[in-house]
Amino acid sequence: MKRLFSILIILFGLQGISHASHIVGGEIYYDCLGGNTYRITVKVYRDCFSDGADFDTNLPITVFNGSNAQIDQFTIPFPGKTTLDPVFSNPCVTIPPDICVEEAVYTIVRDLPASSNGYTLSYQRCCRGPAVTNLLDPEDTGLTLTTSIPPPSDAICNSSPRFSNYPPLLLCSNQELVFDHSATDPDGDVIVYELCDPFHGGTSFDPAPSPASPPPYTTVTWAAGASTTNPFIMGGITINPTTGLLTATPEMNGLFAVGVCAREYRDGVLISTTVRDFLFRVFNCEITMEATVVPQVELSTFVSYCQGLTIDFENASYGGTNYEWDFGVPGTTDDISSDFAPTYTFPSPGTYDVTLIVNPGWPCTDTSTETFIINDNIEATYNPPEAQCIVNNSFDFFADGDYPTIAEGTTFEWNFGDDAIPATSTDEDPTDITFTDSGWQPVTFTVFYDICEVSYTDSVFVYAEPTIDFTIADELRCAPYDAQFIDLSFAHTPINYSWNFGDGTELSNLSDPLHTYENPGLYDVELTIWTTSGCIDTLTLLKEDLIEVFPSPISQFTVAPPESDVFHPHFDFTDQSIDSDQHFYFFDDKFGSSTEERIVSHSYIESGYHYPYQVVINQYGCTDTSWQTIYIIPYTTIYIPNAFTPNAGNLNSFWRPQVYDTEAYQLYIYNRWGELILYSEDENAYWDGTTPSGALAPDDVYVYKIWWIDITTGLQNEKYGHVTLIR
């Protein structure tokens, strides 16, 4: 049973007609704080779903004097926005989810320039959007929010009226909207209300006028059939001039601009007017309301008709607010609930008609009735038998649970799956069930009683027969060879291991042993595994000639002398390796020098310890490495050239002292006037003949100073000299 309602939605941006509306209404008012100081408030409203202009980051206010001449302009920063709640009291209507209005309240305290004939404050913005029904060319029609401050001769330090409430967002069609549209006045002046024309403002060519145009302002142009007092075209709207009570009965769908003026009188004289500009949206919504009790077999908790006397009811109704359940128990009036989805325990097994009334006693109501079959609880279960091997298995199953006896009409069904023989049974306790595949095998036990059916599923495990296999990495094997064996055997139960590596050493009981073959040769490897549970078995695998270990060469060499000094840094290398085809020396010097010669001499330029080493390779690709240690006694040495030619290409093109074995080092170069040309603490520093600015230094004689700490003695030293630059 469904109820349809057409509703009036007073909102500013409902999806379905258009999302092109932007700033859609507002008002402006002020408070006098003394003298020419005013607190000015501007309320602006927009559609949340608008794809048009957002709120102003800085809202511009233009001030005109009583002669309509601009005398001031300022902006109010964006204060943030809030979303208005769609307050609606009709319980028969579900509020559509896409109604959304945003409000921004801009406030500022401002000292206005002196004006003997009063002020007009104005803000203009475009546009109202293409969907406004009662305006001509609404897409290019903006709005002007304006208010007037009377001259001191009419009212000294006046504060304007401000509206108390914002119109509700929803109203059912053909029902009166009675809304308190009154305003309050801080000065206690008399307020008279009337419908008035909204003002036109910016256009699509000038959407945010700043400054605003001066008064008087052009009013909006009404579409055919619309007017100030009849903005709905069809239907009516009035406002009580004394109380501000607004009554609206629109009869035409659309979006309608409306203006309400609060005129302020003091001693019978009109001193100011506050205009609220807003939009009414009239929209026919087909709102449904339906009561639905979820049937027994569709309950999320349904197992069978025999799951006990307590039922967790589920409510699939929509559009309702209040609920009344009657569970259909004869002879009592206590079987009721007002919960949305109640839980109820029936007094005894039986068949009951359960009734749900949505919104009982309201004009919009609906009723749903479902029949429930209630029985005492029955349960089906079993304890899975212990796991067995896939070979010669035989499983026995014993039913368990809570159900009537076979004599009372209970029957059974077992489903063992396609890998079982037999696959099904109707015995209460079937025996000698065999499985032809290993792993977990699901078994379902079902009990049937009357119209009740309850099932329980668990699993039994079947062990697979063990398998045996192993492998080793495919790599060059040189003695001594560390062989990492990888077990590939499988069993569902723990495996015991015995490895024979074929070289006469002890056996291993690890699953993945690491074994070292010390000597070259060809080796058989044998693995035996056995299980003591599950599928009990013993398996042996022999892999003949699995591992061939090749001989390794022996790296060996001599260096003479083992120690020398920086003035005699020459060393002789002599190869003494065995069974090698290729030989490499790596001298461990600053240049990373190496050679393939077997007998060779090498000179070092750095003092201290060096660790040259030899790598040899035999015909199988096996390698060996050995090291020696030599020592060069350090002694600080410095070689300094006395001239250079920076324009001579790669020959003598820069000046660099040759420095060895210092603990600290500093280089200074000066021109003949004592100006520093170069400074460095790097032993490898050089001078390319330029000044610190990058210019070419002229031909001349330059002075250098070198300071260092001797690595041998630890003493500080200085050396001065001259270098000649020739271009």
Helix, strand or coil for residue 297?
helix
CB 293 within 8 A of CB 315: yes
pLDDT digits (tens, 9 = 90+) for 463-497: 999 999 999 999 999 999 999 999 999 999 999 99
Q: Which pLDDT tens digit goes with each residue over 416-437? A: 999 999 999 999 999 999 999 9
Identify whether residues 622 and 643 lie together within a single domain.
Answer: no
Same domain for 232 and 329:
no
Q: Are residues 20 and 132 in the same domain?
A: yes
The 10s digit of each residue's pLDDT in 107-135 is: 999 999 999 999 999 999 888 777 788 99
44 and 132, same domain (yes or no)? yes
Asked whether residue 2 is assigned to any structural domain, the reply reads: no
Domain end (from 417, 441, 463)? 463
Q: Are residues 108 and 240 in the same domain?
A: yes
Q: What is the CATH number of the domain that holds 502?
A: 2.60.40.10
Q: Does a structural domain hold residue 606?
A: yes
680 and 595 within one domain: no
For residues 683 and 667, what is the distance between their CA atoms, to the nearest angstrom?
8
pLDDT for 665-679, tens place per residue? 999 999 999 999 999
The mean per-residue pLDDT over the stretch 377-385 comes to 95
* pLDDT tens-digit map of 679-696: 999 988 999 999 999 899
Residue with tokens 């769908």: 253
Pair 259, 370 in one domain: no
Structure-token match 């949340």, residue found: 48
Tokens for 113, please give them: 């320039």
| Residue 13 predicted with pLDDT over 50 | no
Q: Which residues contact 248 (CB under 8 A, 6 or more apart)?
A: 8, 171, 176, 177, 179, 232, 235, 236, 237, 280
pLDDT tens by residue, 557-567? 999 999 998 78
Separation of CA 100 from chain center:
27
**Tens-digit pLDDT profile for residues 26-44:** 999 999 999 999 999 999 9
Of 374, 395, 426, the domain-final residue: 374
Please check whether residue 96 is in contact with residue 9, taking contact to mean a CB–CB distance below 8 angstroms: yes
Range of the domain at 507: 470-546
Based on the fold, state whether residues 425 and 387 are members of the same structural domain: yes
Helix (H, G, I), strand (E, B) or coil at 357: strand
pLDDT value at position 10? 35
450 to each of 137, 235, 341, 352, 496, how far by Cα in Å?
A: 74, 64, 28, 17, 55
448 and 576 fall within a common domain: no
Q: Average pLDDT of the chain?
A: 89
**Averaged pLDDT, 233-247:** 93
Residue 289 lies in a domain: no
Q: Which of 546, 577, 595 is the last residue of a domain?
A: 546
Residue 707 inside a domain? The answer is yes
**Cis before 211? omega within 30:** yes
Using an 8 Å Cβ cutoff, are 450 and 438 in contact? Answer: no
In this prediction, residue 96 has a pLDDT band, given cuts at 50, 70 and 90, of low
Q: Is 291 within the bounds of a domain? A: no
Overall domain count for the chain: 6
pLDDT band at 206 (very low <50, low <70, confident <90, very high): confident
Domain holding 655: CATH number? 2.60.40
Give me the pLDDT at residue 651, please.
77
**Cβ contact 27:146 at 8 Å:** no
What residues contact residue 595 under an 8 Å CB cut-off, 6+ apart?
584, 585, 587, 602
Question: Could you tell me if 448 and 523 lie in one domain?
Answer: no
Q: Is the pLDDT of residue 259 over 60?
A: yes
- Position 706, amino acid: I
CA distances from 351 to 245, 295, 300, 330, 339 (A): 57, 13, 20, 11, 22
Q: Is residue 646 part of a domain?
A: yes
Q: What angle do CA 324, 328, 330 make, to 5 degrees?
A: 130
Please tell me whether residues 359 and 274 are part of one structural domain: no
Q: What is the DSSP string of 217-231?
A: PPBPPBPTT--SS-T
> Which two tokens mark 531?
């299980």
pLDDT at 52: 60
Q: Are 45 and 28 in contact (CB under 8 A)?
A: no
| Banded pLDDT at 15 (limits 50, 70, 90) | very low
Query: Can the peptide bond before residue 172 be classed as cis, meaning omega within 30 degrees of 0?
Result: no
Q: With the C-alpha atoms ordered 27, 32, 36, 41, is the resulting torsion angle positive or negative?
A: negative
Say if CB 421 and CB 434 are below 8 A apart.
yes
Contact 50, 21 (CB under 8 A): yes
**Model confidence at 212: pLDDT above 80:** yes
Shared domain for 148 and 240, answered yes or no, is yes
Q: At residue 166, what is the residue type?
A: Y
Q: Give domain status of residue 288, yes or no.
A: no
For 657, counting Cβ atoms within 10 Å of its Cβ (0-12 exposed, 13-18 middle, 19+ buried), the class is buried
449 neighbors 379 (Cβ within 8 angstroms)? no
Is residue 290 a part of any domain in this protein?
Answer: no
| pLDDT single digits (tens) 642-669 | 998 987 566 788 899 988 778 889 999 9
Burial tier of 286 (Cβ tally within 10 Å: 0-12, 13-18, 19+): exposed
Give the pLDDT score at 87. 64
- Paired with 543 in beta bridges are 525
Give the whole-angstrom CA distance, residue 81 versus residue 211.
Answer: 24
